[in-house]
A = this chain, B = another copy of it.
Amino acid sequence: MAAGSTIGTILKVTTWGESHGKAIGAVVDGCPAGIALSEDDIQAMLDRRRPGQSRYTTQRSEEDRVGILSGVFEGKTTGTPVSMIIFNKDQRSKDYSQIASCYRPGHADYTFDRKFGFRDYRGGGRASARETAGRVAAGAVAEKILSELGITVTAYTRSIGPVSVDADRFDLSEAANNRLWMPDPVAAKEAERFLEEKMAACDSAGGVVECVISGLPAGLGEPVFDKLDAELAKAILSIGAVKGFEIGDGFAAARSCGSANNDAFAVRDGRTVKTTNHSGGVLGGISDGSDVVFRAAFKPTPSIAQAQRTVTRDGEETELVIHGRHDPVVVPRAVVVVEAMAALVAADLLLVSMTSRIDRIRGFFGRQKENGCEDRDRK
């Protein structure tokens, strides 16, 4: 697709807005009618990416109150576009002359200038992480669709810098208990110590987010280009700061061998299941009924309080020191963004997958006739 701010085939999301413009928002088109949806549903998910939650996230006291402007009537989606808006409250006048005139290493300042000729430099403009608020709002709508069908999406921090969650201590309920969204309290403590060191050194860290989609029926994703894992990869790499994506065993599979990497099939309770899940829930790009498990690698926050060599807009070499507070790691706030993008992809492919078999299509339209859906007005 061109232009770039729209994603999805049936469930189509368009986001808009700059970091320091009047507002940011998202429009979700193609959401099925009849789903209970309130601003609170969306706010709950947005609050998870709110800054100012801990020492490791920025202190900007945004409230990020979302408003639903359309597409919901009497508490339910109407099938028409759900437009959501978040006004930018914290736009206090700041001196942006430095960021306006020179290119921050690791940021999109330079590439925006090359692509568009100039840019809204205030707080990163459209390239700011604030753009992800629109994604999260849209993802909240997608999660509502999925929950109608018993599907859940859960993301958490897998590692920060060198500190990884320990498989033996893994406890998902712990993730919400610590400020780093790590499902392992010991690792969380260790990661906090690591971040303190980085902050003291005016430096920053990266990390890995893991996400699990459970309850997805087999059969989602299209063969060839629009594979489930391919769509997930695009959605995840589209999040700023993501540098890698892997599904199932991922890069480790490249070092494995067929006899270890293949998942055997077996029958359990009368159903065909895989006895292991090296594939991460996808075979040939189509969901296989197991949990879909994938990981996203985030680079270290590029804004650091050290002097860096760079170039001005006018082509002069210079030294840049970025002031102000920045998250030493983006991972904790990115967890919910990963979850939102995964929900959007899953919900969209779920809707698309309804059309793959004529027997089911026949049943779909036939059933409407039989049970009166079609003849709802018959007396």
Q: Name the one of B9, B15, B115, B302 contacting A219, with C-beta atoms under 8 angstroms.
A: B115
Q: Name the one of B11, B111, B251 contacting A251, with C-beta atoms under 8 angstroms.
A: B251
In the complex, how many angstroms separate the beta carbon of A302 from the nearest chain B beta carbon?
A: 5
- Tell me whether A301 is interfacial, beta carbon within 8 Å: yes
Known: A17-B69, A78-B125, A111-B288. A2 touches B224 (CB 8 A): no
Tally of A interface residues using CB under 8 Å: 178
- Tell me whether A308 is interfacial, beta carbon within 8 Å: yes
**Docked-complex contact A363 and B367, CB < 8 angstroms:** yes
Cβ contacts under 8 Å, A131 to chain B = 224
Q: Is the interface of A mostly helix, strand, loop or mixed?
A: mixed
**Docked-complex contact B117 and A33, CB < 8 angstroms:** yes
Q: What are 17 A-B pairs at a CB distance below 8 A?
A: A3-B30, A14-B81, A18-B71, A21-B69, A78-B120, A107-B283, A206-B261, A230-B234, A231-B234, A240-B284, A240-B285, A243-B246, A253-B300, A258-B301, A267-B379, A315-B379, A351-B361
**Docked-complex contact A317 and B266, CB < 8 angstroms:** yes
Of the listed residues A119, A250, A267, A355, the one surrounded by the most CB atoms of chain B closer than 10 A to its CB is A355
Known: A6-B6, A148-B362, A355-B351. A250 touches B297 (CB 8 A): yes
Nearest CB to that of A14 among chain B residues? B14
